[in-house]
Amino acid sequence: MNWIILVIAGFFESGFAFCLGKMKEASGTEWYLWCVGFLVCLVLSMVLLAKAVQTLPIGTAYPVWTGIGAVGTVLLGIIFFHEPASFLRLFFITTLIASIIGLKMVSH
């Protein structure tokens, strides 16, 4: 169950990075709404990470959390912010995903 919580925490990490990207484009009330979204995602991500590390090793949980957040953020950047999807960028994201899976497989 804590692995599922950790994955959800990683998704919320991507969520707060996405909100930061939207804040960059917004102004006025819209900026404040994205700011609230950022804060909500930030708090949920941290709380869920703290819950997951109660039973998972921090040396595994933290890299998995940041890896999920990094992969999600890159994908959101490509889809919503029209960032480049070059071969090398996708290759290294794939190696990051493989590393996340590897950490899951070797942790007890």
Give average pLDDT by consecutive 10-residue segment, the chain, 108 residues: 96 97 96 98 98 94 95 96 96 94 86
Predicted TM-score (pTM) of this structure: 0.89
**What domain range is 63 assigned to?**
2-106
Euclidean distance between CA atoms 33 and 35, whole angstroms: 5
When divided into structural domains, the chain yields a total of 1
Q: What is the pLDDT of residue 107?
A: 80
Helices and strands (DSSP H and E) totals, the chain: 4, 0
Q: Which pair of tokens denotes residue 55? A: 């039973």
